[in-house]
Amino acid sequence: MTTDDFDIAVIGAGSGGLTVAAAAAQFGRKVVLFERGKMGGDCLNYGCVPSKALLTAAKQAHAMRSGAALGIAAVVPQVDFAAVRAHVQRAIAAIAPHDSQERFEGLGVEVIRATARFVDQRTIEAGGAHFTARRIVIAAGSRPAVPPIPGLSEVPFFTNESIFDNEVLPAHLLIIGGGPVGIEMAQAHARLGAQVTVIATGQPLAHDDPELTSVVLAALTSEGVTLVPGTTVARALKTGDSTTLETSDGRTFTGSHVLVATGRRPNVEDLGLDQAGVAFTPKGITVDARLRTSNRRIFAIGDVAGGRFTHEAGYQAGIAIRNVLFALPAKASAHIPHVTYTDPELAQLGLTEADARASHGNAVNVLRAPFSGNDRAQAEGRTEGLVKVITGARGRVLGVGIVGPGAGELIQPWVLALQKDLKIGTMAGSVLPYPTRGEAGRRAAVGYFAGFASNTLVRNVIGLIGSLGR
């Protein structure tokens, strides 16, 4: 065994870990990066990139069926599912060089492709060697959480780590789980020609505003997806070439393929965290606002520290860098947006209406701007959805939800509003190009002031000002 001393050690080569390693190396630090799986982590190989590539193919197929309202004759698409998979793999391959071992070694990072495990509070063992570092960042990610359903281990099933290797369009895809992954994959496969059934413990997309999710779920239902909310899968069994799922309320559903999409589990078990003095729970490593663990030399970011999104891990990497490289007491923001990339998309930021009313009571004001009142939406023939803004006392923006085409893009100016604690008047006073869907956000903001027009005191003051100007 050998012992090498580094300025910074990074465990995990996903979005967060790669960001830390690249920045540290570019600032002249001696960096070692450990990765036991694929460079690029879950997002590149099993998550964001392949899922969006699949959704894009599905959207094209749907567009071919859906042009009648615009005067374009509908066409039944001929789906070559193996070619769709090839498109997905090309997307991964196009991005992979940016996350590759070769690129990071070119930056001066020592890359160790082996499992990393702590042996004491500042020493890591990997590949039979020991490595010590002044500061350590854990970005070990997460893995699919597979529920202990009787019989499930005896039938074939996909998770997000395997479904993108599938080359055969399922005749009937049974999806266990109604979160974003399950719902995105439901729509994608249905649009490509599969029959799809989603079985969810509660309401699908339960963590988002139900007023907004209802628009997404209505779209899926109209496209033939069967939604089975409010029940659990009690047993799975093989029935010939198919799989049957029995639910707790006595129903059975038989399909050709099964996708388990029941959440994620942080990779905390094999790191030797006890040896490092790092506190953790089954939900992830415990960190403070600066992302420090109970061992002040060690930071944790992303899924392994309870995060849920690739962009969250990348953002947290920046916080860790400021703390580790520059000793700045940077703290992570709580305002992390998320998007479900269905069609229409669903974007959420900050508090939902229910959360806001629970914490702010009568001070909450709900502003809505349906896309039916937006000129660009009318021109495109896509008027479903709305912008929903939640404000508190004195017009402070507490949360925003958007459902509609391009919601993931439309949420972006509102991220700045919450992060910089802007008032609703700032958003209402913005000048936006016409015609754009972004104008719906401004219209919602302007709605905050609509009540002032009928306020007697305000009207009297305006009248007084007018009379003084004569």
Higher per-residue pLDDT: 236 or 333: 236
Residue with the two structure tokens 């969250």? 312
- Quote the CA–CA distance of 456 and 293 in Å, as a whole number: 56
Tell me the C-alpha to C-alpha distance, in Å, between residue 188 and each of 52, 86, 114, 367: 9, 16, 35, 32
Mean pLDDT of 204-216: 97
Secondary structure of residue 406 in the 3-state scheme:
coil
How high is the pLDDT of residue 4? 75
How high is the pLDDT of residue 393? 86
111 closest CA partner among 7, 5, 11, 1: 11
The distance of Cα 88 from the centroid of its chain, to the nearest Å, equals 19
Q: Residues 380-408: pLDDT tens digits?
A: 999 999 999 999 988 999 999 999 999 99
How high is the pLDDT of residue 450? 85
How high is the pLDDT of residue 260? 98
Structure tokens given for 463: 């009248």
Whether 2 has a pLDDT exceeding 70, the answer reads: no
325 within 8 A of 184, measured Cβ to Cβ:
no
Burial level of 179, CB count in 10 A (0-12/13-18/19+)? buried
Burial level of 82, CB count in 10 A (0-12/13-18/19+)? exposed
- Quote the CA–CA distance of 354 and 307 in Å, as a whole number: 22
Whether 466 has a pLDDT exceeding 70, the answer reads: no
211 within 8 A of 346, measured Cβ to Cβ:
no
Mean pLDDT of 197-211: 97
Q: Residues 113-156: pLDDT tens digits?
A: 999 999 999 999 999 999 999 999 999 999 999 999 999 999 99
DSSP states of 217-260? HHHHHHTTPEEE-S--EEEEEEETTEEEEEETTS-EEEESEEEE
Beta-carbon contacts of residue 311 (< 8 Å; ≥ 6 apart): 15, 336, 337
Q: Residues 255-298: pLDDT tens digits?
A: 999 999 999 999 999 999 999 999 999 999 999 999 999 999 99
Whether 461 has a pLDDT exceeding 60, the answer reads: no
Strand partners, 11: 34, 138
In the sheet with 338-340, reading across from the earlier edge strand, the strands are: 338-340, 345-350, 397-404, 386-391, 365-370
Higher per-residue pLDDT: 166 or 3: 166
174 closest CA partner among 195, 160, 193: 195
Task: Please give the mean pLDDT across all residues of the chain.
Answer: 94
Percent of the chain with pLDDT over 70: 95
How high is the pLDDT of residue 458? 53
- Quote the CA–CA distance of 294 and 283 in Å, as a whole number: 16
How high is the pLDDT of residue 325? 92
- Is the pTM value of this prediction over 0.85? yes
Whether 317 has a pLDDT exceeding 90, the answer reads: yes
DSSP states of 295-352? STTEEE-GGGGT---HHHHHHHHHHHHHHHHH-------S---EEE-SSSEEEEEE--
* CATH numbers and ranges of domains, the chain: 3-144+265-326 (3.50.50.60), 152-262 (3.50.50.60), 344-454 (3.30.390.30)
Mean pLDDT of 224-236: 97
Mean pLDDT of 337-350: 97
8 within 8 A of 326, measured Cβ to Cβ:
no
Mean pLDDT of 427-431: 95
